[in-house]
Structure 1
Amino acid sequence: MSLDRWVRPLAAFENPLEGVLHQMDTHIGGSPANILKFGCPLNNLAQEMAPVDAGFKKRIQAALDEWISETAVFIQQAQDRGILKKHLKAREIAQFIVMSHEGFFGMIKGTGDKELYQSLIKSLGCYFHTLEQR
């Protein structure tokens, strides 16, 4: 599900970071507060089950690693095309993106404030802008 929702749609964007922002607008910013209050299902499972079930933890790690690795492919392609700075590590950017998804959901869930999304997405967009080749 994470790949279908968050990664595969990046193929439609020349700059995958624009795709990330678009997907976040669609699936987080566009979600009603009564859905967001539950947070991210994957993150909820990771926080509850990973500490108590080693097998479950390995499966969560595998899911997150696949999400990161597949996102890094799009980042690397954008670097190869001169859209994003080449000296940056694509995997580290992808890790930050996945952490941002999880963090957005967690902050909105924890505060109950959907309006917080606008501040978070604006800050993420500013960070992404620093990664672009000029």
Structure 2
Amino acid sequence: MGKAAETRMTILQKAFELIYINGYQATSIDDIIATTKVTKGAFFYHFKNKEEMGLAVINEMMQQTMGKMLLEPLLTAENPLMAIYHMMEYLLMQEPYLHIKYGCPTNNLIQEMAPLNENFSKALTKIMDDVLQSIEKAVERAKTSNLVRADVNSKQVAIFVSASYGGIRNLGKLYENADYYRAYLNELKDYFNRLE
């Protein structure tokens, strides 16, 4: 990776952290510059404005990381339902960049920016489409392997799992108590057992 690419990645990583903690609207270009030690000229060399930078955070960091680390393994797992469960467990209990008091970065941006900015809404919809489709495909694979009943509606499972994850992240954020996560994971496991 060349110096320009490293600078761009540094900006995106720090922007992601600040947006996750403070929200997109409360994070200024000056905040990002101050914490990255890049010049204003360097920032504007890579991004013409804050919106372009915010969309790059979504498209280049959040979506790609989610796809490679979390969603792709669902499509090849021996037991797709357990893979979904372990993905949720990892996101809630183990992922070092996700903190209980800040909730889910994707959820936060959906709530904050989707109603206000069409470009953000489209980018965030793409992330959620990928999540829903990957879970749906994983459940379909589980059905063909006789790990899930044939009558189970894979799309509905995907919607339920995604929506319940967003909801539990919000409860964790509000109460700052991982016991809510543990209760969710127990219920999720029971739910998956009922699909067999």
Match of 2:131 among 67, 74, 88: 67
**Which digits, 9 at most, give the CA deviation of each residue in 1:41-76, with x for residues without a partner?**
111000000111122212211210121112211111
- Aligned partner of 1:55: which letter? N
Which 5+ residue runs of structure 2 have no aligned equivalent? 1-64
Which 5+ residue runs of structure 1 have no aligned equivalent? none
* Number of residues of Structure 1 aligned to a counterpart in Structure 2: 131
| Counterpart-to-counterpart distance in 2, 1:88 and 1:127 | 12
> What is the percentage of aligned positions where both structures have the same residue?
27
State the TM-score, normalizing by the size of structure 1: 0.86
State the TM-score, normalizing by the size of structure 2: 0.61
RMSD over aligned Cα, in angstroms?
Answer: 1.8
Match of 1:53 among 117, 121, 134: 117
Name the structure 2 match of 1:116.
180
| Counterpart-to-counterpart distance in 2, 1:126 and 1:74 | 18
Match of 2:191 among 123, 127, 133: 127
| Counterpart-to-counterpart distance in 2, 1:12 and 1:61 | 24
Confirm or deny: 8 A CA contact 1:43 1:102 kept in the other structure: yes
Matches within 5 A, 1:22-37: 22-31=86-95, 35-37=99-101
Structure number with higher relative contact order (C-alpha < 8 Å, ≥ 6 residues apart): 1
Match of 1:91 among 155, 176, 185: 155
